[in-house]
Amino acid sequence: MKLVRTLIAAAVALTAATAALADINVGVVLSLTGPGSGLGIPMQKQLALFPKTIAGEKVNLIILDDASDPGKGVSDTRRLITEDKVDVILGSCLTPVAAAMAPVAAESKVLQIAASPVGVPPGQDQWLFRLPQGNDVMAHAMFQHMKKQGVKTVGFLGYTDAYGELWLKAAEAEAAKNGIKIVGVERFARTDTSVTPQALKLTSANPDAMLVVASGSGAAMPEKAIVERGFKGKIYQTHAAATPDLVRIGGKDVEGTFVVSGPAVVADQLPDSHPSKKASIDFVTNYEKANGPGSRNQFAGHSYDFAITMEKIVPVALKKGKPGTPEFRSAMRDAMETMGRTVFAHGVMNWTKEDHWGYTNETGVMLVVKDGKFVVAQ
């Protein structure tokens, strides 16, 4: 009888140990091919440095390619939830894809941490949080800079999709606050290979500055079109363009361009007093050690910040549930809302129940392309 009790106790202990070491399955949906690959590939490279364990639990990363297509992003999300039983999903790096994924994740009550500034209708982001800075926050930094530069009029050339629409709304609000007038609005699709008609209309309006709203490698084409039409004013780009692809493809045509960004890509230029300097330096040092000098990237920084987030919320969630259970997934979501002030490579985050964006207006850093490199603008 004593032997039986011993065997039963051993079996219970083994079961408990197995449960305690249950794997955390992390689903990742990124644009590794298509127009958004310039954003997704750097994120994937940073994820190669993701911790193998968190709070003693093994972490499995399941990375899928959405091919820069919202429909593929949805099918990837469904697979991750139904087949891979993921506890959390990171993605996508493209706003239209992340927006398409959001209802699927919410319906299944799986935490989605977007790597793009995706907007959803009020009250529908209970399971959606964002790693990038909101467009309102970045527009604030951009239009403050325009005002200091003496800009009075702006032409807007942006995507026809959700990213372009959200930026247009943010730009209109910040322009009004700073006494700046938007004198022309032109749109184009991500798949367009030319914006000559739109560029002609905007340059004929002769604004003091142009705001280009595009992402990754796709951000260079519209700017080159504006320059080729003879525009001599200032040109601004959004944080989705703060990648090496803008300079690589744009060449001399993007020299002098102002780009709003998080602090991660200019880690070494931040003052010692900046709260994100330590994290930014750590991100840049390790990323460039793995991928080469000058390879730092805005979107790779979001993958770095995702690891910080997971290392903070997982220990909290483990107190309420085991990986693979609804309780664990709900606890992770709740932990996001109560994690408090957290220093990221991209700024200081403070998600709350009311705010699933988290960043403040002090977040945006204005950069300028100088000699083919991003430097902090004066």
Encode the chain (378 residues) as per-residue pLDDT tens digits: 444 444 444 444 444 444 445 799 999 999 999 989 999 999 999 999 999 999 999 999 999 999 999 999 999 999 999 999 999 999 999 999 999 999 999 999 999 999 998 988 888 899 999 999 989 999 999 999 999 999 999 999 999 998 999 999 999 999 999 999 999 999 999 999 999 999 999 999 999 999 999 998 899 999 999 999 999 999 999 999 998 899 999 999 999 999 999 999 899 999 888 889 999 999 999 999 999 998 999 899 999 999 999 999 999 999 999 999 999 999 999 999 999 999 999 999 999 999 999 998 878 899 999 999 999 998
| CA–CA dist 367, 246 (Å, integer) | 13
Of 278, 292, 284, nearest to 348 (Cα)? 278
Q: How far is CA 228 from CA 13, 156, 200, 344, in A?
A: 72, 17, 10, 39
Scanning 194-325, the segments in alpha helix (DSSP H) are 196-204, 220-228, 244-250, 277-291, 298-317
Of 330, 361, 305, nearest to 139 (Cα)? 361
Who's near 67: CB < 8 A, 6+ residues apart? 31, 32, 33, 34
Per-residue pLDDT, 23:
95
Task: Give how far the C-alpha of residue 154 lies from the chain's centroid of Cα atoms, to the nearest Å.
Answer: 26
| CA–CA dist 99, 112 (Å, integer) | 11
Q: How far is CA 223 from CA 112, 234, 236, 368, in A?
A: 33, 11, 9, 14
Per-residue pLDDT, 7:
40
Of 222, 172, 175, nearest to 201 (Cα)? 222
Per-residue pLDDT, 12:
43
Could you give all domains of the chain from N- to C-terminal order, each with its CATH number?
Answer: 2-133+288-349 (3.40.50.2300), 135-261 (3.40.50.2300)
Per-residue pLDDT, 22:
79
Cβ atoms of 116 and 57 within 8 Å: the answer is no
249 token code pair:
């493809």
| CA–CA dist 141, 310 (Å, integer) | 28
268 token code pair:
């070494």
Kindly report, residue by residue over 324-342, the tens digit of the pLDDT. Answer: 999 999 999 999 999 999 9
Kindly report, residue by residue over 11-29, the tens digit of the pLDDT. Answer: 444 444 444 457 999 999 9
DSSP 8-class letter at 109:
T
Cβ atoms of 358 and 137 within 8 Å: the answer is no
